[in-house]
Amino acid sequence: MRDVLRCFDRLLLQDEPSRARFEVLGAVATDISVVGALKAAARPLPADTGEVAQLKAAIGARPVWFAAATHPVEETGVISAHARVREYFEDAMLIVAPRYMESAEGLERAAQDRFETVHRRGRGEALGPTTDVYIADTLGDMGRWYRLSPMSFVGHSISAAGGEGGGGKNPYEAIALGSVVIHGPDVQDFSETYDDLNSAGATRQVASMDELSTAVVALMRGHGADECRAAAQKVIAARRGVLDTTWAEIGRAIAREFAVSIQIVTGPSFTSETAMSAPNCPVSTAISQSRKA
């Protein structure tokens, strides 16, 4: 591994623990820079604005919350949490997007045991004004649900005994679209990200499904929701520099390799077409980011 790592001019890492691990593996310390996670600089997830408007009209003034990327061990608890939320907001709606599409059947049965009207997107059923629980068991739609939901429980964060179901998922997708993130304690795959967000007061951490319902009710009542969103936007703004740093390093590497001067375009004017216009050449630059879905 030492020989492989020394083939690279630069290693851009997301956190200090990663630096320590790469040095143990044999990377040269002066070749390493900690720049942060690229996920923080990602554009908001897309969604069809017309469909979002139609869904908002169907929901109307009802309170709505979203459970995103749930693990099967969390899903019965999420349904129970929604039942407790309904004790305070009797017309509240829950949207659930299971991480694994095959768990939708069991999730649907659990919801039908507790609620009268359960609809499922995977069967082509529409979310309507009487929907109690909507199961969003299709891929590529997360931008739609985050836009509809002022608050989101980001799953894979309340594990079962033995640790099954934990690890965490990317919170920036929700934050970028103004949805307050609620999460459990088991977010070790994103520990640096969640530590920063929690320190800034940008998320709500809960220890159990009982606490999840309490957090949802509090946010529906407006307790701390605006403060969370404002703090989260400050964290994202502070971390957006990772993209500029990364492209600057790539630009310097290309310039060194080919003795040319290039301009790296970032910010709102940067597009995939801009990236594709760069020379198609081997450049010994590595950008190391943890690959966690």
**Per-residue pLDDT averaged across 12-22, rounded?**
91
- Confidence at residue 96, expressed as pLDDT on a 0 to 100 scale: 98
Overall pTM surpassing 0.75 (yes/no): yes
All domains of the chain in start order, with CATH: 2-34+240-287 (no CATH), 49-237 (3.40.50.2000)
Reported confidence tier of residue 290, pLDDT bands at 50, 70, 90 = very low
- Confidence at residue 219, expressed as pLDDT on a 0 to 100 scale: 98
119 in Cβ contact with 82 (< 8 Å): no
Say yes or no to pLDDT of 11 above 50.
Answer: yes
Q: Which amino acid is at 82?
A: H
**Per-residue pLDDT averaged across 159-167, rounded?**
83
Q: Which amino acid is at 121?
A: R
pLDDT tens digits, one per residue of 218-239: 999 999 999 999 999 999 998 8
Edge-to-edge order in the sheet of strand 133-135: 118-120, 133-135, 93-98, 64-70, 151-154, 180-183, 203-205
- Confidence at residue 238, expressed as pLDDT on a 0 to 100 scale: 87
pLDDT tens digits, one per residue of 111-152: 999 999 999 999 999 999 999 999 999 999 999 999 999 999
Lowest mean pLDDT among 8-12, 176-180, 183-187, 263-267: 263-267
**Per-residue pLDDT averaged across 164-174, rounded?**
94
Say yes or no to pLDDT of 278 above 60.
Answer: no
Say yes or no to pLDDT of 275 above 50.
Answer: no
Q: Which amino acid is at 79?
A: I
| Adjacent-strand bridge partners of 134 | 95, 119
